[in-house]
Amino acid sequence: MKILPFILITTLAGCSSVMNGGRQSVTVVTPGAEGSECSLTDAKGRVWYVESTPGTALVKKGDGPISVICKKEGYEIGVGEIADGMAIQNAGNILFPPGFIIDGLTGSSKKYESTVSVEMEMLNKKDTAGKKPWE
C-alpha cells in the first residue's frame, strides 16, 4: 500500500505536461481573405508559418503572446495577437508543487486560444468607397 501514494504523486507531477505537452495547434482564419499567408512569431523570435488560411500551425507554448501577420495580394496586411493563459490542468500541481516547475520548464502550464481571426481589408475597397459603380 505504500507504493500507491508514490504512484499518485509521480503521476500528478507535471500534470499539465502529461495532459497537454509543450506544443499546441493554433488555427488562423482571415474572413473574406481566405488563402492568405501568415507568420506567427513568439516573444523568443521563433516563427511558424501558415501557408494558406484557414490553416493551422503547431506552436511551442510558454513563451508569451504570439504575434500574427497575414499577407495577401490586393489586401492590407492583417495583424493579430494570440494571448497566452494558464492551462486548467496546471491546477493538479497544487497536490505536488514540483509539478509547477516541470510544467513551467516545458511550457505546458500555458495555453493559447485554439483559433485566431485576423481581419484584412481589400485595398480597392478604400479607393471605391462612396463612389457609384459607374464612376
Question: What domains lie within the chain, and their CATH numbers?
Answer: 3-122 (2.60.40)
Cα separations in angstroms, 99 against 11, 28, 53, 94, 104: 10, 31, 37, 8, 8
Contact 68, 75 (CB under 8 A): no
Q: What is the pLDDT of residue 63?
A: 81
Percent of residues, the chain, with pLDDT higher than 90: 48
Query: Nearest-5° angle of CA 107, CA 50, CA 46?
Result: 40
pLDDT: which is higher, 25 or 96: 25
Average pLDDT over residues 100-125: 73
Q: Which residue has the cell 507568420?
A: 39
Residue 4 has pLDDT above 90, yes or no: no
Q: Say how far residue 57 (Cα) sits from the centre of its chain.
A: 8
Which pTM was predicted? 0.64
Examine the pLDDT at 16 and tell me if it is beyond 50: no
Cell of 42: 513568439
- Cα separation, 7 vs 9, whole angstroms: 6
Q: Which cell is 125 given?
A: 475597397
Of the ranges 17-31, 86-100, 120-134, which one carries the lowest mean pLDDT score? 86-100
**Residue 89 pLDDT > 80:** no
Task: Answer whether residue 80 shows pLDDT above 50.
Answer: yes
Per 3-state DSSP, the chain is made up of helix, strand and coil in percentages (nearest 5) of 25, 35, 40
HSE toward the beta carbon, residue 121, CA cutoff 13 A = 7
Question: Is residue 107's pLDDT more than 50?
Answer: no
